[in-house]
Amino acid sequence: FSFDNVTITSNFNSANLVSCTQTTSDSFYLQIGSDCQGKVLPFPISSYKVWFYFGVKSSINQTLKITIENLNNFIKLFRSGYRIAYKELDEQFVTPSQFENSYTENEEYQWKRMSNEMTAILHEDTNLVETTFSYSFPANKYILFAFCFPWSYEKNIHFISYLSKRVEDNKDIYFHSTVLTQ
């Protein structure tokens, strides 16, 4: 989704975002899809809406207000202080897709929990939650946001490859990788 100074994307592995609407110059409403929405599976798909993962980039330094709509009713979780996860992409990654299709050492420890204020509202008529937060974006750098620390299948494949290469010359370490199921 492209706007004047802002790009919001879910076009990468494990991402989930159905629509995005700009309400003011610095405010956006995002809707997530049902878990596994758009996937053809051999069993009924739940209408559960928990997982979100998306990237936001501003072409200028600015603070944006983001509201994520239509989450399942986890209002108690948010009222107990739950904070979503975020990560600022390093300069080596131009897009979230490049980040998701790689692994760099200790990157799993670079995710943080949102420390600034977040609000969560339960809509009684739909029993769905919306959460709102603000974030100060640096110019031309993607910030990733997720319900919790993401770890996709693709990321795991790159991680196993990283481990394999790291120990391949070390005779004191036995390393074996195999597919358990398909």
Give residue-wise pLDDT tens across range 81-102.
889 999 998 877 778 888 877 7
Give residue-wise pLDDT tens across range 34-66.
766 556 656 655 566 778 889 999 999 999 999
Whether the per-residue pLDDT at 122 is higher than 80: the answer is yes
Count the helices and strands in the chain (H runs, E runs).
Answer: 3, 10
Using DSSP's 3-state secondary structure scheme, residue 96 falls into helix
Whether the per-residue pLDDT at 149 is higher than 80: the answer is yes
pTM of the model: 0.83
Buried b (16+ CB within 10 A) or exposed e, 91-116: eebebbbebbbbbeeebeeebeebee
Q: How far is CA 75 from the centre of its chain?
A: 20
Among the listed residues 119, 116, 137, the one whose alpha carbon sits nearest the alpha carbon of residue 26: 137
Q: Is the dihedral of CA 83, 77, 7, 14 positive or negative?
A: positive
Whether the per-residue pLDDT at 136 is higher than 80: the answer is yes
Alpha helices in 5-152 (DSSP H): 75-79, 96-100
Give pLDDT, residue 166: 84
Max mean pLDDT among 72-81, 110-119, 138-147 falls in 138-147
